Amino acid sequence: MATEFGQAVRRWRDRVPPAAAGLPAGGHRRTAGLRREELALLAGVSVDYVTRLEQGRASHPSGQVVEALARALRLSATERAHLFRLAGLAPPGAETVPAHLTPSVQRMLDRLAGTPVAVYDASWTLLVANVPYAALMGDPSGWRGHQRNAVWRHFLGPGTRARHTPQSLRAFETALVADLRAAADCYPADQRLRRLIAELRAGSDRFAKLWKSGAVGRHEAARKTIDHPNVGPLTLDCDVLTVAGSDLRIMIYTAEPGTEDADRLALLTVLGTQALVG
Could you please report the per-residue DSSP string of 211-247? HHHT-------EEEEEEETTTEEEEEEEEEEEETTTT
Lowest mean pLDDT among 21-30, 43-52, 63-72, 138-147: 21-30
* pTM (2 d.p.): 0.79
Q: How confident is the model at residue 277 (pLDDT cuts 50, 70, 90)?
A: very low
Instruction: Let me know: does 227 contact 97? Beta carbons within 8 Å.
Output: no
Q: Where in the chain is the domain with CATH 3.30.450.180?
A: 103-277
Rounded percentage of the chain residues whose pLDDT exceeds 70: 93
Q: What is the pLDDT of residues 172-198, one digit of tens each?
A: 999 999 999 999 999 988 999 999 999
Rounded percentage of the chain residues whose pLDDT exceeds 90: 53
List Cα–Cα distances, 258 to 130, 207, 262, 265, 266, in angstroms: 23, 40, 6, 11, 11
- Residue 253's beta-bridge partner residues? 238
Q: Is the pLDDT of residue 22 over 70?
A: no
Q: How confident is the model at residue 278 (pLDDT cuts 50, 70, 90)?
A: very low
Give the model's pLDDT for residue 115: 93
Residues 278, 275: Cα–Cα separation, whole Å: 6
CATH architecture of the region 103-277: 2-Layer Sandwich (3.30)
Instruction: Let me know: does 12 contact 75? Beta carbons within 8 Å.
Output: yes
Q: What is the pLDDT of residues 112-161, one digit of tens each?
A: 988 999 999 999 999 999 889 999 999 888 888 899 999 999 999 998 99
| CATH 1.10.260.40, applies to 4-86 | yes
- Residue 188 identity (one-letter amino acid): P
List Cα–Cα distances, 243 to 49, 96, 108, 173, in angstroms: 32, 16, 12, 22
Residues 162, 48: Cα–Cα separation, whole Å: 34
Q: Is the pLDDT of residue 276 over 60?
A: no
Give the model's pLDDT for residue 96: 87
